[in-house]
Amino acid sequence: MRYLPLTPDDRTQMLGTIGVPDIDALFKDVPTAARKTELFELPRRAGELEVERELGKLAAMNRPAGAGPFFCGAGAYRHHVPASVDHIIQRSEFLTSYTPYQPEIAQGTLQVLFEFQTQVAALTGLEVANASMYDGSTACAEAVIMSQRVTRREKAILSGGLHPHYAATTQTIAHAEGMKIVRQAGAIDAEAAVIAAIDAQTACVVVQTPNVFGVVTDVTKIAEAAHVAGALLIVVTTEAVSFGLLKSPGEMGADIAVAEGQSIGNALNYGGPYIGLLAAREKLVRQMPGRLCGETVDADGRRGYVLTLSTREQHIRREKATSNICTNSGLCALAFTVHLSLLGEVGLRQLAALNHSRARELKDALDGIVEVLTPRFFNEIAVRVPDAANVVEALLADGIIAGVPYSRLDPHAGLDDVLLLAATETTTSDDIAALVAALKGRLGR
């Protein structure tokens, strides 16, 4: 077996050193009834070539996003990632290291995390950020639970513009934690209904911008209303590239910002691994979940970095921890940070502008064929087409993946005629032309 270095001779010698006759003697504490003597009914070992063949076959059964016109967004976005990013994250020292609990020999990972935290704080316009969560949806749930610790209130109001998977995840996890979740009905301009729901029991309001229908909203008024009531405003963003163009959550009064960071540095990966971003006002830092990296000095007085404020975490605080999170998305954070280093201020602004430009092109092309529902958008729009799910299926025959029917996210919202389409820098004018032609054909317009 190519991954197992011990030879039969080694094994015999080592058993001798230990002083047992055979390997079974080392498993003697396992109850006899539970010892499997025969091999499991599964295939035997396979060489690289054979494994490559099997997985290659499975991969070939799928239609990659890049294989033709493609317009899916709704929480995951196809962007171009520079080749150097993948090279760096495959460095052994990053790929095959553990959580940096021994800072003297983990300064590489730690300095990256410090850079990551700084970038996330800058993007969101807030003072502190943690070293990543699993993804945007779980970060959202954690932020809601964090608001309960800060305000000692139990009610969370989720805007109808919040991604339904985020709402469901938050409902599951925060409800389990003892919170009362008020989930507002999905609607294109859902933010208007949020302010009316805030009351003196509200711990937080959760608003997404751009929202799941692509609508960009200035949440300043919601922030004011929340703060008057003593509640926190949590702003969710599922498309991190939008930070390059739009007002940041911090600038609009958010207390906590959470985001899906997949768009920067990370592939679509059929849903994971992704990377949750979580940032907050400085005064909330001790209520934050997850790891934090901080600056300090070593015994020679040289600047270095360590994991800090770890008494919030499960390995010290146990049942009183702010969260149970341990493993996070370290390597995805590295990819995010490297990609954002390559982009820089100028590059991210250009990338964001380019995304918005492509979406305007898409919107202009669709105007007149279908009703465009999103008034103000970044790189994603909602349009009205009868039975959107069927339209998407039909356009597959034309080689086009025409976006995400809203009913896939929430079949019970009564929005079966809403189709979500995203355009990014990877979308070409030819892609848009193909979509328009196919839609015209299918809709008979």
Partner 1 sequence: MSMSSVGRPTQPNVGASIGGHASLTGGRGLLQDEPLLFELGGWDKTGVDFDAAEHDASDLGDLVRSRPIGLSGLSEPETMRHYVRLSQKNHAIDLALYPLGSCTMKHNPRLNEKMARLSGFADLHPLQPMSTTQGALELMDRLAHWLKTLTGMPAVALTPKAGAHGELCGLLCIRAAHEAAGHGHRRRVLVPTSAHGTNPATAAFVGYSVQEIAQTADGRVDLSDLAAKLGPDVAAIMVTNPNTCGLFERDVIEIARLTHEAGAYFYCDGANFNAIVGRVRPGDLGVDAMHINLHKTFSTPHGGGGPGAGPVVLSKALAPFAPAPWIVHGSQGLELVEETKAEAAQAFGRMCAFQGQMGMFVRAYAYMRSHGSDGLRQVAEDAVLNANYVKAVLSAQMTPAFPDGPCMHEALFSDAWLDDTGVTTLDFAKAMIDEGFHPMTMYFPLVVHGAMLIEPTETESKRELDRFCGALLALAKAAKAGDVDRFKGAPYLAPMRRLDETLAARKPKLTWRPDDSTVAPTPLAAE
Partner 2 sequence: MRFTKDHEWVEVDDNIATVGITAYAAEQLGDVVFVETPDVGKAVKAGDGFAVVESVKAASDVYAPVSGEVVEANGALGDAPDTVNAEPEAAGWFAKVRLSNPAEVEALMDRPAYEAYLQTL
What does 195 bind: partner 2, partner 1, none (CB cut-off 5 to 8 Å by kind)? Answer: none
Q: At what angle do helices 330-366 and 107-124 cross, to 10 degrees?
A: 30
Q: With CB under 8 A as the contact rule, which of the stretches 52-60, 76-84, 254-262, 310-318 interacts with partner 2?
A: 310-318
15 lines the binding site for partner 1 (CB under 8 A):
yes
Closer CB to partner 1, 384 or 408, in the complex: 408
Task: List CB contacts of 441: < 8 A, sequence separation 6 or more.
Answer: 398
Applying the rule CB under 8 A, the residues between 234 and 253 that interact with partner 1 are 243-248, 251
How big is the site for partner 2, counted in residues (CB under 8 A)? 6
220 lines the binding site for partner 2 (CB under 8 A):
no
440 lines the binding site for partner 1 (CB under 8 A):
no
Residue 134 backbone phi and psi in degrees, to 5: -60, -50
320 lines the binding site for partner 2 (CB under 8 A):
yes
Do 94 and 111 contact (CB within 8 A), yes or no?
Answer: no
How far from each other are the two terminal CA atoms of the chain, in whole angstroms? 62
Among 18, 176, 316, 396, binds partner 2 (CB under 8 A): 316
What does 340 bind: partner 1, partner 2, none (CB cut-off 5 to 8 Å by kind)? Answer: partner 1
369 lines the binding site for partner 1 (CB under 8 A):
no
What does 68 bind: partner 2, partner 1, none (CB cut-off 5 to 8 Å by kind)? Answer: none
Which residue, chain included where needed, has tokens 């009703």? 371
Closer CB to partner 2, 316 or 437, in the complex: 316
Do 293 and 110 contact (CB within 8 A), yes or no?
Answer: yes
326 lines the binding site for partner 2 (CB under 8 A):
no
325 lines the binding site for partner 1 (CB under 8 A):
yes
Among 154, 183, 192, 272, binds partner 1 (CB under 8 A): 272
30 lines the binding site for partner 1 (CB under 8 A):
yes
Question: What letter does residue 102 receive in the DSSP assignment?
Answer: S
CA distance 351 to 409: 28
Taken in order 365, 371, 377, 378, the sign of the CA dihedral is negative
Applying the rule CB under 8 A, the residues between 89 and 108 that interact with partner 1 are 89-100, 102-108
Burial class (CB in 10 A: 0-12, 13-18, 19+), 152: exposed
DSSP 171-193: HHHHHHTT-EEEEPPP-TTTTHH
Residue ranges that bind partner 2, judged by CB under 8 A: 286, 310-311, 316-317, 320
